[in-house]
Amino acid sequence: MMTTTIIYTIISLCAIGIASAVILYFVAQKFKVEEDPRIDTVESILPGANCGGCGKPGCRGFAEATVKATSLDGLFCPVGGAETMTKVAVALGMEVTAQTPQIAVVRCNGTCDHRQRTSQYDGYKSCAIEHSLYRGETDCTFGCLGCGDCVTACPFDAIHMDENGLPVVSEEKCVACGACVKACPRNIIELRNKGVKDRRVFVCCVNKDKGNIARKACTAACIGCGKCVKECPFEAITLENNLAYIDFRKCRLCRKCVSVCPTHAIHEVNFPPRKITEPADQLKTATN
C-alpha cells in the first residue's frame, strides 16, 4: 500500500513539473523580447573597455544605441576611434562622419613655484572631499587640488601626478573618454581637439577672480587683461568672468596670443622652438 502511494506521489510530482515547464515555456514565448542580432555583432567590434566615454552605459549600451539609430551622427567610441566606427558603420550599412581626435587637457599651471601654500589639508586624500570642505591649501580656489582623483578615474593609465603635484596626460595613452573630466571637482580638465600635428594652444588657467586677486594667488594665473583677445586675428579668444578662453574650433595656431600674455598663462604644446631674432644693431656688429 505504501509503495503504491509513493509511486502515485512521484507520478503526480512529475506531472506537475512537466505541466509547469510547458506553461512557463508558452509564457516565455508570449512575453519574450526580441533582440536585434546586430547588437551582438556591433558589441564584438567595440574594444570592450566599458569606460562610458561614449555617453552610454558601457559597450553594450553603445551597441544598442547604434543599432536603434538611423544615423551614426553624434555616436562615437573614443577608445576605438575612427577605425572602430568605420567597422561599425560597415556592419550596420551606414555612413560615419570622421571626427577630429581629442585629448584631455589640464588647464592649471599652479605649481609650487607659482602658488604659495597657505594651509595644509589633513584629511582623506580626495579632491572631491577636499573641495567640499574648504578652499584648498592655497589662495587659489579654482586650481588643482593635487589629490589625484583624475588618476584614479582613468581606466587607461593615461594620467599621472608629476613632481609639482599636477596631473600630466599621456598623449600616447589618452583616448579622450572623459573619465578624468567628470572626476575633477574643479573642472580644470577639458577635452580639446588634438590639433594639427598634435599642436595645441590653450589658456592654462581657470581662475575667475579679478586680476590682482588671481595674480596674488598664483603668479601664472590669467588676470583678464584682454591683450590676447585684441591680438587674435581669428576671433578665437573670448574674455568672460575675468578669464580668457581659446576656442579650439576657431584657433589657427598662430601663437600671437602666447607672446602678449603678461603672466604666460597661455601654453603652446608640441610646437618647434621659436627662432630668436636679434636686434638689427647686434646683427650689424656681428657682420662687421
Binding residues for [4Fe-4S] cluster: 51, 54, 59, 77, 140, 144, 147, 150, 154, 174, 177, 180, 184
DSSP secondary structure string, 235-284? --EEEETTEEEE-TTT-----HHHHH-TT--EEEESPPPPPPPPPHHHHH
Known binding-site positions: 51, 54, 59, 77, 140, 144, 147, 150, 154, 174, 177, 180, 184
Which amino acid belongs to residue 79? V
Number of Cβ atoms within 10 Å of the Cβ of 282: 9
Q: Write down the residue that cell numbers 515555456 correspond to.
A: 25
- What is the sign of the dihedral through the CA atoms of 9, 11, 12 and 16? positive
User: Of the candidates 215, 240, 238, 216, which has an alpha carbon nearest to the alpha carbon of residue 228?
Assistant: 238
Show Cβ contacts of residue 92 under 8 Å, excluding neighbours closer than 6 positions. 38, 42, 66, 67, 72
CA distances 17 to 22, 25, 29, 32, 235, Å, are 9, 12, 18, 21, 76
Cell of 55: 555617453
Which amino acid belongs to residue 261? C
CB 193, CB 208: distance < 8 Å: no
160 sits in which H/E element? strand 159-161
Residue ranges in the chain assigned as alpha helix (H)? 2-31, 38-45, 58-68, 81-92, 127-133, 149-153, 179-183, 211-217, 227-231, 256-260, 280-287
Q: Write down the residue that cell numbers 610646437 correspond to.
A: 271
